């Protein structure tokens, strides 16, 4: 049976680690009539990272012993092996993703801008600038780096977001205020320190008082080491529990107005525009109406990461969460690729035995009961 | 029933990662009458590493997702979390081991020097300087760092072994020849380069031509990065395929005589004693007669890592191998702790259900069929 080139069994949207990763599992199941769409190119978000920025999870080719490289998106590839580095830059990681696409013949179509996903009686219509495509199933894998949080407080428009920096070498100024003390804020701070700049990080939380071993909450060992190194230069300070309320411009200066705990209002002055390290808004806006949220705004997903209100629409990637379980690392969310592929494969009557190797190599996590386990020491 | 303090069900010999790790599994099985003996102290070998030397596998607290930290010896601890570093030094790692001993109340007796293990009709006699102990089962876990290979060629007595260096800062000289290009040789070379020294590494093999992703064979990503960094100083050279045949002393100079591939003999001269980075002889000499080897000298073990000629004597740690499968990394050999504990527990009639979590977290590897799998990219 010859099917028109615009009708697919599965359309995956996004050619980053989540989209390419789940596509590799579909390939392994023998699915043929599917495609991965990306607005730009394979790994485009990683390609745009600041040049100095690196993955914070370390890569190591431990795959053969049931421990796929923490940054791998398949059971049998390793960025650490391919790129010969533990902490790939964004550009290096995009290179790894292209290697995987080539190695496994993943059917990617780049330059396809999806503008809407419509649920129909027998599946989906995917509206793109190149015309309408149809699919029985849609996997949304648009990642988290699409929409920087650029409006967290009044006056944020004066503050460049760290995600818009192409290299810290190009940023003018000698003294910096960075708003946000999680990974991207500390990344910016340590990169600037290495360039001889003086940096103050304003962190809403208290980095030092965290008492969990979950890397989705505390800083990674890689970043803790960078922080210690920056600290030794004497050019880095961190103001903890500091909540920025407003940024104002006054002549040549920027005023950052905030409050530390219960203390009274503080005004910090700087000649360099303060930097926003406030993270991202996620990439669900295009399909917002297809996903339910609870009263607290937490995304609702079925046990198979399917939308609870639009059957056939699945979510893959760092946006996946189940209650308190946050999957915002590659080594976490990649374990759900096989769960999604399993659900789709089952409904399509595919042979599911190729998924056994995923279970064996810890890439098929359908029991989430351990995900919040803490380390004893 | 009160048993004399010198009669044990199990005696573990060696309080390094292998001994402490397998002891934690015995604890989990509820075994009470057992002990870990160490000649010196917990983690003594790591404690003696050169100050600058670090574990080459990266630590990351990914435990909760079925990926225990690559340097962890239990399912629920993480050196990366406890030590806040990706690459612990030997001293830091010894500190982690002491934390584990304390956390899990591992019964360790230090300062116990084992001189002989005798097989008896109903178990073993373990001769120590403090007297004879008996055990039904013995687990040999003496690690690999006991006996540096100090005699690989004539004249090796002129060459200090890298394992005897307490800090590279204390080593006199400006120009160094390092004999051996695997991890310990490159570790020494990069540490010396960082101190401004000029270094030539003589490697029997060809580092660059390896085409495997097995970290037991090729250099780790951590070391490849250090190598690139040292290379950029212009003070590091590597002579590949160079086999050292002899070292001679001539006045104030040392002559390293060797051969590169089929070429004729080469003589390298240096004023600084050449360094031996020739690895270790393993720590089986005390129990050599209890283990069989094949014609090629390869150690023979049962599928449970038990001696094939002395029933009841098990091996844990980096010496464990099965044919071409070499377990010389913590993340590899730790997966056999549960295999050994399972075998002993079965014979002692213990409840084995506590081992389920080990299987779930990839710490119970009884199927070795994937251990030589290669990465596609």
Q: Which residue has the tokens 């990439």?
A: A283
Question: Do B362 and A63 make contact, defined as CB atoms within 8 angstroms?
Answer: no
| Residues in chain B within 8 Å Cβ distance of A76 | 373-376
Q: What is the pLDDT of residue A150?
A: 86
Q: How many domains does chain A have?
A: 2
CA gap B111, B128 in Å, rounded: 10
Question: Do B221 and A80 make contact, defined as CB atoms within 8 angstroms?
Answer: yes
| Residues in chain A within 8 Å Cβ distance of B80 | 221
Worst-scoring range by mean pLDDT, A90-104, B88-102, B252-266, B303-317? B252-266
Q: Is residue A308 in a domain?
A: yes
Nearest to B16 by CA among B144, B167, B112: B144
Long-range contacts of A291-297 (CB under 8 A, 24+ apart): A291/A315
Domain of B100 in residue numbering reads as 7-146+281-370
Worst-scoring range by mean pLDDT, A46-50, A105-109, A216-220? A216-220
Same domain assignment for residues B103 and B168: no
Q: Which band of pLDDT confidence, cut at 50, 70 and 90, is reported for residue B358?
A: very high
CB of A374 within 8 Å of any CB in chain B?
yes
Instruction: Note the helical H segments in chain A.
Output: 17-28, 44-47, 79-83, 90-103, 183-194, 221-232, 330-333, 337-348, 356-360
Same domain assignment for residues A260 and A323: no
Looking at A276, A301, A334, which one is the last position of a domain?
Answer: A276
Question: Do B86 and A86 make contact, defined as CB atoms within 8 angstroms?
Answer: yes
Please write the tens of the pLDDT for every residue from B275-332.
999 988 878 889 999 999 999 888 999 999 999 999 999 999 999 999 888 888 999 9
In the sheet that holds B198-202, the strands lie side by side as B236-239, B198-202, B175-179, B275-276
Q: Per DSSP, what are the bridge partners of residue A118?
A: A125
SS3 of B232-284:
HCCCEEEECCEEEEEEEEECCEEEEEEEECCCCCEEEEECCCCEECCCECCCC
Dmax of chain B from CA atoms?
72
Question: Do B377 and A215 make contact, defined as CB atoms within 8 angstroms?
Answer: no
Please say whether the beta carbons of B276 and B149 come within 8 A. Answer: yes
Q: What is the pLDDT of residue B374?
A: 87
Nearest chain B alpha carbon to A218: B81
Same domain assignment for residues A287 and A259: no
CATH number at residue A59: 3.50.50.60
CA gap A349, B306 in Å, rounded: 45
| Residues in chain B within 8 Å Cβ distance of A215 | 60-62
Nearest chain B alpha carbon to A370: B64
- Rounded mean pLDDT of A149-156? 92
Looking at B216, B246, B276, which one is the last position of a domain?
Answer: B276
Q: Which band of pLDDT confidence, cut at 50, 70 and 90, is reported for residue A77?
A: very high
Q: What is the pLDDT of residue B271?
A: 95
Q: Which band of pLDDT confidence, cut at 50, 70 and 90, is reported for residue B208?
A: low
Same domain assignment for residues A270 and A288: no
Q: Is residue B202 in a domain?
A: yes
CA gap A85, A58 in Å, rounded: 9
Beta strand B108-110 with B253-260 is unpaired
Q: What is the pLDDT of residue B211?
A: 64
Instruction: With residue B23 as reference, give the H or E element that holds it.
Output: helix B17-28
Residue A92's alpha-carbon distances to A24, A148, B122, in angstroms, are 20, 22, 60
Q: Is residue A376 in a domain?
A: no
Please write the tens of the pLDDT for every residue from A194-239.
999 999 999 998 866 666 777 777 889 999 999 999 999 999 999 9
Q: Is residue A377 in a domain?
A: no
CB of A62 within 8 Å of any CB in chain B?
yes
Please write the tens of the pLDDT for every residue from B107-164.
999 999 999 999 999 999 999 998 999 999 999 999 877 788 888 999 999 999 999 9
- What percentage of chain A exceeds 90 in pLDDT? 81
Q: Is residue B253 in a domain?
A: yes
Nearest to B160 by CA among B49, B259, B272, B251: B272
ipTM higher than 0.85? yes
CB of B76 within 8 Å of any CB in chain A?
yes
CB of B362 within 8 Å of any CB in chain A?
yes
CA gap A116, B342 in Å, rounded: 55
Q: Is B263 exposed, middle or buried (0-12, 13-18, 19+ CB in 10 A)?
A: exposed
Q: Is residue A363 in a domain?
A: yes
């Amino acid at each position: 049976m010859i099917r028109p080139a615009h009708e697919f069994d599965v359309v995956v949207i996004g050619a980053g680690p989540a989209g390419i990763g789940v596509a590799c599992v579909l390939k392994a199941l023998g699915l043929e009539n599917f495609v991965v769409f990306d607005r730009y190119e394979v790994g485009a978000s990683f390609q745009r990272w600041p040049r100095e920025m690196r993955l914070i999870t370390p890569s190591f080719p431990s795959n053969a012993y049931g421990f796929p490289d923490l940054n791998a998106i398949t059971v049998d590839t390793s960025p650490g092996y391919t790129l010969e580095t533990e902490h790939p830059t964004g550009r290096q990681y995009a290179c790894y993703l292209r290697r995987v696409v080539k190695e496994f013949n993943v059917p990617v179509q780049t330059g396809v801008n999806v503008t809407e996903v419509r649920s129909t009686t027998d599946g989906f219509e995917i509206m793109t600038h190149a015309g309408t495509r149809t699919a029985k199933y849609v996997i949304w894998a648009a990642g988290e780096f699409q929409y920087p949080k650029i409006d967290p407080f009044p006056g944020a428009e004066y503050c460049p977001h760290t995600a818009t920096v192409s290299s810290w070498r190009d940023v003018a100024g000698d003294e910096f205020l960075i708003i946000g003390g999680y990974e991207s804020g500390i990344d910016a701070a340590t990169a600037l320190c290495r360039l001889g700049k003086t940096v103050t990080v304003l962190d809403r939380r208290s980095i030092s008082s965290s008492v969990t071993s979950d890397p989705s909450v505390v800083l990674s060992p890689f970043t803790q080491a960078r922080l210690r190194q920056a600290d030794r230069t004497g050019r880095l300070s961190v103001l903890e529990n500091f909540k920025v309320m407003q940024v104002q411009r006054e002549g040549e200066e920027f005023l950052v107005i905030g409050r530390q705990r219960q203390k009274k209002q503080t005004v910090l002055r700087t000649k360099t525009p303060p930097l926003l390290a406030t993270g991202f808004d996620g990439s669900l806006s295009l399909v917002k109406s297809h996903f339910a949220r609870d009263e607290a705004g937490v995304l609702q997903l079925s046990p198979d990461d399917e939308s609870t209100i639009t059957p056939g629409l699945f979510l893959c990637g760092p946006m996946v969460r189940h209650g308190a379980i946050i999957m915002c690392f590659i080594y976490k969310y990649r374990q759900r690729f096989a769960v999604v592929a399993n659900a789709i494969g089952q409904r399509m009557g595919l042979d599911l035995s190729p998924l056994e190797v995923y279970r064996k190599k810890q890439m098929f996590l359908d029991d989430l009961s351990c995900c919040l386990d803490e380390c004893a020491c």
